[in-house]
Structures are given as C-alpha cells and as structure tokens.
Amino acid sequence: MHRTFIPGTAAPEVQSSPAWWFAFLGNKLLVQINGTHTTIPHLINLAAIGLVPVRTQFLGTLDGQPCYSAELPQETAIPENMAVRGLRELYGALGEELYSVSSRAIQIMEWDRTHQYCGCCGTPTTQLPTERVKRCPKCSLTNYPRLSPAVIVLISRDEEVLLARAPRFPSNMYSVLAGFVEPGESLEETVAREVREEVGIEIKDIRYFGSQPWPFPNSLMIGFTATYVSGEIVVQPEELTDAAWFHKRNLPPVPSKPSIARKLIDWFVTTP
C-alpha cells in the first residue's frame, strides 16, 4: 500500500499519538528488529524507549502521522530488539516510503547539527517557523539544507554500454559514469565534461532519464542517457580503475536495484 509523505516544518503543539522516529547515532539509523522484519520506531517520543536526543527536527507527516529526525548522543545505549544500521545496509529492508523519509531525515538532521552557528559571524542561528531555513539574527545570513547535484549517465554504442569501476566499488562491480555539477554549468554540460574527463570519449543525444535523492551525504542524482560519437577509452586514474564496453547480454556485476544506476542499466537491457 502506497503511503503519502507531506513535508512540513511546524510540529504538532502536543505530540499525543505515535510518530515515526528517524533517530541517528552518527550516520547510522536506529531501527527496530522483529525477527526478519526491520522497521522504524513508532512511538510517542524517544523517552518511551529510554533515549534522550541531542536535538530533534520535525519532518512532516506520513499518512497523517508525524515524522521526526533526531540526533542521538554518542554514548547512547541501544535498546533491546533494536540496532543501528547504515542507510546502504537498509536498502530493501525498509519499505520504499520509510526508506525515502530516512534519506530525508539524515540530511535534515545533519544540516541542523552543522548549522547551529552562523558561518559568517558565529552568532547562534534561529530556525524559521514556516520554512526549512536557519537565519542569523545578527547579520541575517540564511542557510538552507545543502543539496549537491550530481549527474549520472548511461552511454550506449549499439547493443553495448560503457561501464566503469571506481576504487571504492565492491570487488568486480561496474557502474555507469557519474560526477558533480560545477558552478556555472548546465546539467548537459556536466555530463559531457565528466565523460570527457573520466574516459576521454565524445557523446551526443544527452537526454534526461530520471532523478533520485542520494543521501551519501547530500546528493541529488540526475540521470541521463547518451550515445557514443567518437574516441577511444582513456581512463582517468584518479577517478577510475577500469572502463570498458559490455554487451547488454553479458554484463559484469552491477549496482543493486534501488539505485538509479541500476534503473538506467535495466532500462538499456530491456529496450529493444
């Protein structure tokens, strides 16, 4: 059953019904474990399980039920039948909607944690009541949650796709190319530049595919497809360890299904 999340900044004046609590110890999320089922704590407040957060943030509502993110102290003892897990580990373990709110929660929690003081004059900041923004009461500097746009592109050559390996990838895994947008660039310019820099080839027909929030730590992945024009693969060693053309029927290990990289690859494989 699909759930509807509505973002918001004004928390209920009285929290009298259970809420979803997306509580983080560092960058790991507190989850409740019931046998093979993993979910988010659904409570009136964190005090109900003996936890006292450093600070909390109202996120909005999921099917009318409040959602909060929370920063836990480093010395927090994890309650029984609970655990802390990285968001990458929780792919597929949480439902799509809870995972989506988890991704939002960690970014807002981290933004709140790192913007308690003005970066210009050092004055404690204030959270505006009707907008997700912190403002300095002294110099009026405003800070919105940080978002880092990045492009990700699948390049095809007839029935072949260009895949590459980065040093951080799991053993033998390949993926499509990606990179961050630089100031002054359009998304299409970023695609062409990143491809030229990382593998030395030219492309055309750059077309939008889709997007995906990527909270590692605060990216928005914007997906494109493109077709090969010319050039031989020359790997940029600072970014990649290998890159090659693979036939759509003979691919190496690729990213898992929830990622936009996998969606791009699956689209290519299934397109006649």
- Any known ligand binding at 202? no
- Any known ligand binding at 136? yes
The model's pTM = 0.88
At the topology level of CATH, where does 5-114 sit? Nucleoside Triphosphate Pyrophosphohydrolase (3.90.79)
- Any known ligand binding at 192? no
Fold match flag (5-114 vs 148-270): yes
Domain boundaries, given as residue ranges, for the chain: 5-114, 117-145, 148-270
Q: Which of 142, 161, 127 is nearest to 252 (CA)?
A: 161
- Any known ligand binding at 99? no
- Any known ligand binding at 18? no
Examine the pLDDT at 60 and tell me if it is beyond 70.
yes
- For the stretch 118-139, pLDDT in tens is 999 999 999 998 899 999 999 9
Q: What is the pLDDT of residue 32?
A: 96
- Any known ligand binding at 183? no
- Any known ligand binding at 67? no
Question: Which class for 32: exposed (0-12), middle (13-18), buried (19 or more C-beta within 10 A)?
Answer: middle
CATH number for region 148-270: 3.90.79.10
Query: Rounded distance, CA 139 to CA 117, Å?
Result: 12
Total Cβ atoms within 10 A of residue 15:
14
Instruction: Give residue 197's region: left, alpha or beta (phi > 0; psi -120 to 50).
Output: alpha
Angstrom distances, CA of residue 51 to CA of 28, 108, 123: 15, 20, 29
- Any known ligand binding at 194? yes
Which spans in the chain are helix H?
Answer: 96-114, 187-199, 260-270
Mean pLDDT for the chain overall: 95
By residue count, the chain amounts to 272
Examine the pLDDT at 96 and tell me if it is beyond 90.
no
Out of 40-44, 96-100, 233-237, pick the least confident.
Answer: 96-100
Query: Rounded distance, CA 214 to CA 222, Å?
Result: 10
Confidence tier at 112 by pLDDT (50, 70, 90): very high
Tokens of 271: 């397109």
